[in-house]
Structure 1
């Protein structure tokens, strides 16, 4: 498999974690979002939406959208990232979607870049506001005392959370109101799969 990825992309991070957790080997194809490679004519043939991640299978089939890719990976390899129990599965997906659908899209580079008349500080304030709102909701959607968000097994909720916390740290969000979330983050970051997926561990990482 080949993964079109950007080292700081939290959506790419989700897929990297899942691939490492499942022990699926892959080749990283860097796409530099800052330099605009995602808007090139070449990459538009890979993903017309102009985003990462894109997972290219061995037969050349390309999958886009991180949550859809995680669903696919769950059908082909263990460990499962969504529980078998239908009710718990719905709760896990709902928590993951708070991150993936409520926080991430409005903080996405192409959205923030279009904020009218906003200077750098205003753009950071915008991102911190939506992270704060989302983390408040996420905190109430997960279990209170488990090792991870839902029990003692990593799920897509944990993967989405830790990816978003990367941005929270980067932009200076005060995480003191969220000790449960940072506890989960610590537990996840102790796992080799999360370490291997870390932004700084990627071949295209820059300072």
Structure 2
């Protein structure tokens, strides 16, 4: 999560640092087994859902080199990682409500973000008119209010006007809410991606969607119902 909490005191900073470096980074370095679904949507067929609050959100496309205002929204120890993501990508959509940034989305044209490709060992063939959706980040108080739908709606309209054809995304199997949202707006699963990491050494496997990979994904979901993905 790249947004600082509203409680901006020393204890929230220490808790954020501990959660990021000890509970997440160190644990991922020692041992990690993760599964994600690589999904794709044909931009002309995206199901753009109209929500009552979409018109209230102002979406501003900016090039990453002009996105310095985002750095003030994150913890100091996350800024280097965010800066690398911004430098690698082609465009950033910033969502504002009453003049305040509450969301942003990173996109790269023609290929996967280099940082993600390096960190996850994820390589997917993409064409010059394909867009990789790196991330959609929403401030905690604004979640569950249709902000991500608004980003999808405005982003897809923008990319269609630029002559782009497909939008790609990778979603963790543990994030059932995001999987459902991607499916709802028209994304279809094309690969299952498995990442195994032990003490910094990692192995990556990309599996096309078939009966075998679906069975693996169902087991990895550990009881969560993800059958809607394959329909």
Normalized against structure 1, the TM-score is what? 0.30
**Higher relative contact order, structure no. (Cα contacts within 8 Å, ≥ 6 residues apart):** 2
Select the structure of larger CA radius of gyration.
Answer: 2
Normalized against structure 2, the TM-score is what? 0.28
Structure with the higher fraction of residues in strand conformation: 2
Structure with the higher fraction of residues in helix conformation: 1
